[in-house]
Amino acid sequence: MMEWQENGVAHTAHWRSESGVAAPVRVVIADDTLAADDAWRLACEGTALLWRGDFQNARHLLEAMMRRVERKPRHGSRKARDKVASAAQTVDAEADVQDPAAAFHRHRLATLQRARTLGRVLIPLDGDYGIPLRRAPDLRAACTEVWGDADGQPSVVSLRELLGLIGAHQWRRKGIELLALGDAAGRSRIHPWYGVFSPVRGEYIDLVATVPMAEVDLAFDIGTGTGVIAAVLARRGLPRIVATEIDPRAVACARENLARLGVDDRVQVCETDLWPEGRAGLVVCNPPWIPARPSAPIERAIYDEESRMLRGFLAGLRDHLQPTGEGWLILSDLAEHLGLRTRAALLAWIDQAGLQVAGQHSVKPRHGKATDPADPLHEARSKELTTLWRLTAKA
């Protein structure tokens, strides 16, 4: 619950945060008269701003606060400031090459702090998810998709999270077209739900769609997410696939996508941690590729603390493969270039699990950050490869 004082009266409401951020303790009432500089100062001090003004003005305020994140100090002449900034960037770049792990942790800490500060602009919601502000859009359908049916109780959510919910609602409605899923009926779209990682990095989908595959009667897709890998395997003609997922929201998302694509008669989605019962001729897994602690549910598809899912997959693979079966581990090597995991460690885990590498297929990422020199992690991203490791049991 969130508590605050307004016009001398104590108020409470449900606090909504997908990332588990605690309800704010210091809260002030804000409206259209609040200047962006004052809002930014209060947010940086840890004070939340409960908005009572025009909804669109709240969006403009948040945009203005975002611009202040990157604003340079105004001390001295512009030429002097640019010279200092250029020298600092050179020093940072040289340090990052020498210690990429430190660069990663510094960048992630800055990103988290930025998100928490910008997350202090708050929007009230009525008991039916209506927004009691001027010029507010009707987001009741989008809220219901994420939080379930309204319970009649007022609540409060950060504007930044609410905007993310709006974007996710659009992604879910429109879907993402993937050529590897196309069929004669034109069904080729995946519809990601809020909090379920979207398959925007198409290179791993292409690997699953094109790497030579033996004829098998059963495949496992471990950690299916939106169900996209299971769908590609079904498009390749596999008669039966069991897809596993631990997150209930992802389970529902995968089932809906597989039904939309017309392959749910061949794919069974199970809510379980990693492994279903039995053995399969093909086992596919695309685990999170960076060994770090996730700070929000959506990050669980990217960050795998201490490589737990990766190591769990490798440790259990031999016991879930048919005698001549093959495991496909799809993994980016970005963690290696960031100094967070070594290739030697990965190979050691494969060996310790009683597995051997039967082949590798690698591709360069195609996403925008891979070629963006301005990205803080560009040095590592420029070397990144996504690899499908073909693993078999040792004799």
Alpha-carbon distance of 173 to 282, in angstroms, equals 32
Per-residue pLDDT for the chain (395 aa), expressed as one digit of tens each?
999 999 999 999 999 998 889 999 999 999 999 999 999 999 999 999 999 999 999 999 999 999 988 765 454 445 544 543 444 344 344 445 568 999 899 999 998 999 999 999 999 999 999 999 999 999 999 999 999 999 999 999 999 999 999 999 999 999 999 988 988 788 899 999 998 988 887 889 999 999 999 999 999 999 999 999 999 999 999 999 999 999 999 999 999 999 999 999 999 999 999 999 999 999 999 999 999 988 877 788 889 999 999 999 999 999 999 999 999 999 999 999 999 999 999 999 999 999 999 999 999 987 777 778 888 888 888 999 999 999 999 98
Task: Show the beta-strand stretches assigned E in 17-132.
Answer: 27-30, 48-51, 121-125
Q: Please give the CATH architecture assigned to the domain spanning 176-393.
A: 3-Layer(aba) Sandwich (3.40)
- The token pair that represents 46 in the structure block: 């840890």
**How many CA atoms does the CB half-sphere of 341 hold within 13 Å?**
24
| Strand 9-16, strand 155-158: pairing | parallel
Alpha-carbon distance of 47 to 98, in angstroms, equals 38
Stretch (H or E) spanning 329: strand 321-332
Instruction: Specify the domain boundaries for CATH 3.40.50.150 within the chain.
Output: 176-393
In contact, 221 and 195? CB cutoff 8 Å: no
Alpha-carbon distance of 211 to 151, in angstroms, equals 49
Alpha-carbon distance of 291 to 338, in angstroms, equals 10
Alpha-carbon distance of 289 to 299, in angstroms, equals 11
In contact, 238 and 220? CB cutoff 8 Å: no
DSSP state of 278: S
